[in-house]
Amino acid sequence: MMRDARRGRFDVVLVWASDRIARSVKHFLDVLDELNRLNIEFISFREQIDTGGPLGRAVVVIIGAIAELERNLIIERVRAGMRRARLEGRHIGRKPLELDRNAILRDRQQGQSLGQLAKSYRVSRATIHRVLREHAPTTTLEKSA
């Protein structure tokens, strides 16, 4: 959109909500500044904002700051909930994969490729690689340490 704006292909940006154009206040204000320099008007339907005048610009800054504050509060509440869950001993995230690691190692020693192993065990190649790396024989340097 900004590329087309710089080429002068339109003179108004109409969005449903101002949070659809940027994810942070800084980015939002940068976009608005550039649109303003290009003489392109910004209109947000939900917030009834029209940057055609100075009052519209002031409202945009205030709404942007409040939106960023709300996002940060949500992030903090989620982190606090995760901390509490960990303290209570609850597992966070998906359950660990249950793999027959010995069978994977045996099949690899029999010459199967990473792709074949991944397909057989219905996991990614990265998972197979990680299993193989975890069970790689230790080097003589690691044994002496």
**pLDDT the model gives residue 137:** 67
**Rounded (10°) angle between helices 101-109 and 125-134:** 90
What is the reported pLDDT for 69?
Answer: 87
Q: How far apart are CA 114 and CA 107, in angstroms?
A: 10
For 8, residues 6+ apart whose C-beta sits below 8 A from its C-beta are 38
- Tell me the C-alpha distance between 112 and 106, whole Å: 9
52 in Cβ contact with 41 (< 8 Å)? yes
- Architecture of the 2-87 domain: 3-Layer(aba) Sandwich (3.40)
Query: pLDDT means per 10 residues in the chain (145 residues)?
Result: 92 86 79 88 84 78 79 93 94 86 92 93 92 72 42
Domain boundaries, the chain: 2-87, 101-137
CATH for the stretch 101-137: 1.10.10
Give yes or no for a contact between 13 and 45, defined as CB atoms under 8 angstroms apart.
no
pLDDT of residue 111: 92
**Angstrom distance (rounded) from CA 11 to CA 119:** 53
> Residue 112's CB: how many other CB atoms inside 10 A?
16
Q: Is the distance from CB of 32 to CB of 42 less than 8 angstroms?
A: yes
Q: Classify strands 49-50 and 41-44 as parallel, antiparallel or unpaired.
A: antiparallel
